[in-house]
């Protein structure tokens, strides 16, 4: 038999539980996020290139620098604590 306190706790957990995502829903959400990220990245590249198709392609170092900047922006959005005093 369950005590009244444990049944209240269970019912409050069930009421406040996050919605269940089926694997299909999760994959659909992931696909939506990735496509919006890709569209945003293309928009940033087009803006940085000035919209001209005749501009020279970026060097490997420029591409790596851009990827690093995007990664830092992502970490800032996630809200990870700063580790400036680490080294």
For residue 50, pLDDT over 70 is answered with no
Pull the structure tokens for residue 80: 């990870």
* Residue 58 binned pLDDT confidence (cut-offs 50, 70, 90): confident
Residue 69 has pLDDT above 90, yes or no: yes
Is the separation of the CB atoms in 26 and 34 below 8 Å?
Answer: no
Would you state the pLDDT for residue 82? 63
Can you list the alpha helix ranges (DSSP code H) found in 1-87? 4-15, 23-49, 60-78
pLDDT tens digits for 17-38? 667 778 888 888 889 998 888 8
pLDDT at 53 exceeding the cut of 70: no
How far is residue 33 from each of residues 24, 36, 44, measured CA to CA in Å? 14, 5, 16
The CA distance from 21 to 59, in Å, is 42
In this prediction, residues 46-67 reach a mean pLDDT of 77
């Amino acid at each position: 038999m369950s005590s009244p306190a444990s049944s209240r706790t269970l019912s409050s957990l069930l009421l406040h539980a996050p919605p269940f995502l089926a694997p299909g829903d999760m994959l659909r959400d992931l696909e939506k996020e990735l496509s919006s990220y890709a569209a945003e990245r293309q928009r940033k590249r087009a803006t940085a290139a000035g919209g001209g198709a005749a501009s020279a392609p970026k060097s490997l170092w420029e591409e790596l620098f851009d990827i690093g900047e995007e990664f830092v922006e992502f970490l800032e959005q996630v809200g990870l604590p700063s580790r400036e005093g680490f080294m």
